[in-house]
Amino acid sequence: MKIATSWSTSPDPLLAAKEAYNSLIEKLADKPQIILVHASCLYDTNALLRRLNELAPDVPMQGGTSCLGVMTESGFHTENGFGLGLLGIWDPEGAYGVGIADLGNNPHEAVQTALKTAFVQASRPGEVPSAILVGNVPGHEELVIRTIEEFVGSGVPIIGATSADNDMSGQWRQFANGQVSKAGVSVAVLFPSGKIGFSFHSGYEPAGPRGRATRASGRILYQIDGRPAARVYNEWTNGLISGILPAGGSMVPTATFSPLGTPVGQVRGVSYYRLSYPVEALPDEALLLFTDVEQNSEIVLMHGTPDNLLSRTGQAATAALDAAPFKADDARGALVLFCTGSMLAVRERMEEARASFSAALPGAPFLCTFHEKACQRPPWRTTF
């Protein structure tokens, strides 16, 4: 098995596709069995995918839009909001397949359709993959995870995140086999000849304040301990959002280092939290979050720092190696998912994040993409 990555920041989708693909093939020295494609939303993605399919007919391709660009082992790649990254896997003894479907009015059925297509392309229907890669439009993460678990069981790692754009204006898209969706789900099923290691690292820890979600619905947290949620959050963060209360307004990227968390369990005595990034303070002083929030669940203020966010790439790589049946010297490559809000908050220091990951996996190629949300399940099961 061989893994290689490549990139281009050319604004021309045809030229970017050619540059990145030619570089990928030069490194692999053979035709890959699958290519992961991640590009900023400014590209004409239909033209980009069409050109890639012309260059690599019959090669499964899966991915989606990434904020501003991508990062690889050679650096952070973006220029005027354009950036394309490819990760190719040469593995003739493995099997790979991808699928895509618009979520439409029946998201559950759409996820199943995408999965069935992927298993057929991999020629492994009915078998259990080593992992499933996922990318979808924001807003359906929990449903996507539940549907995949219904399809393959809870023991298969689910690795992925929601697609992003450059400014949260809704220009995100999902890709698979030349098809592009603005509101869909894209999946890849992996049956590699080698082993897979994976981990999740948030980079945040409890800040102290905590309460109970006494009124919540979907992704709106109305009250904490019977009081308006935005007002409570403002008090917990020492006036962080005073400037937008009581009328409301965007909390991105203001709340990047102060998300909310919900306890989900422990591993070796260490508590883990599902993060909920506040997106907007609403006029009634409720909070719009990036995850569903359950009525009466515990709400904890979390805290992170730029240094923690930058070092977590290396920490995640180390944790993945600790859980994997191989050592760093045996690693062939990696896919890294990095939160868009975190990246934007530390954009000028992304070289430190690259160096942190490369130190943990010296010499291994990697493709890092930037997404709106990585919706994690309890870490002893799956991450997304």
Residue 318 in any domain: the answer is yes
Residue 292 lies in a domain: yes
Residue 252 domain-assigned (yes or no): yes
Residue 292 is part of which domain span?
205-302
Those residues whose C-beta lies under 8 Å from the C-beta of residue 72, and which sit 6 or more positions away, are 5, 6, 7, 85, 365, 366, 367, 368
Per-residue confidence (pLDDT) for residue 171, from 0 to 100: 94
pLDDT for the residue 345:
87
Closest CA to 63 of 35, 31, 94, 41: 35
User: Of the candidates 274, 302, 330, which is a domain's last residue?
Assistant: 302
Q: Has residue 380 been placed in a domain?
A: no
The answer on pLDDT for 188 being more than 80 is: yes
Q: Are residues 183 and 46 in the same domain?
A: yes
pLDDT in tens, 207-262: 999 999 999 999 999 999 999 999 999 999 999 999 999 999 999 889 989 999 99
Cβ atoms of residues 173 and 181 within 8 Å = yes
Q: Give yes or no: residues 366 and 238 share one domain.
A: no
Q: At residue 339, does pLDDT exceed 90? A: no
Looking at the whole model, is its pTM more than 0.85?
Answer: yes
Same-domain status, 235 and 267? yes
What is the Cα–Cα distance from 260 to 6, expressed in whole angstroms? 36
Looking at residue 381, its pLDDT comes to 33
Q: Record the tokens describing residue 62, joined without a space.
A: 């899966």
**287 in the same domain as 333:** no
Q: Summarize the confidence of residues 288-295 as an average pLDDT.
A: 91
Q: Which residues contact 32 (CB under 8 A, 6 or more apart)?
A: 24, 56, 59, 88, 89, 90
**28, 90 in Cβ contact below 8 A?**
yes
Render pLDDT for 16-34 as a digit per residue (tens, 0 to 9): 999 999 999 999 999 999 9
* Exposure letters 138-155 (e unless 16+ CB within 10 A, then b): bbbbebbbebbbeebeee
30 plus 171 within the same structural domain: yes
Task: Say whether both 69 and 171 belong to one domain.
Answer: yes
Kindly state whether residues 134 and 272 are assigned to the same domain. no
From 264, 284, 302, the end of a domain falls on 302
> Would you state the structure tokens that stand for residue 362, as one six-digit string?
């010296």
**Are 189 and 327 found together in one domain?**
yes
Residue 266: what pLDDT?
66
Domain presence at residue 379: no
- Give the helix/strand (H/E) hosting 352: helix 350-360
13 pLDDT exceeds 80?
yes
Q: Is 377 inside any structural domain?
A: no
Residues 347, 287 within the same domain? no
Do 46 and 175 belong to one domain?
Answer: yes
86-135 confidence digits (pLDDT tens): 999 999 999 999 999 999 999 999 999 999 999 999 999 999 999 999 99
Residue 261 Cα distances to 30, 183, 273, 310, 325, angstroms? 45, 27, 5, 20, 31
Residues 125, 240, single domain; the answer is: no
Final residue of a domain: which of 254, 269, 302?
302
Residue 376 forms part of a structural domain: no
Total domains in the fold of the chain = 2
- 160 in the same domain as 248: no
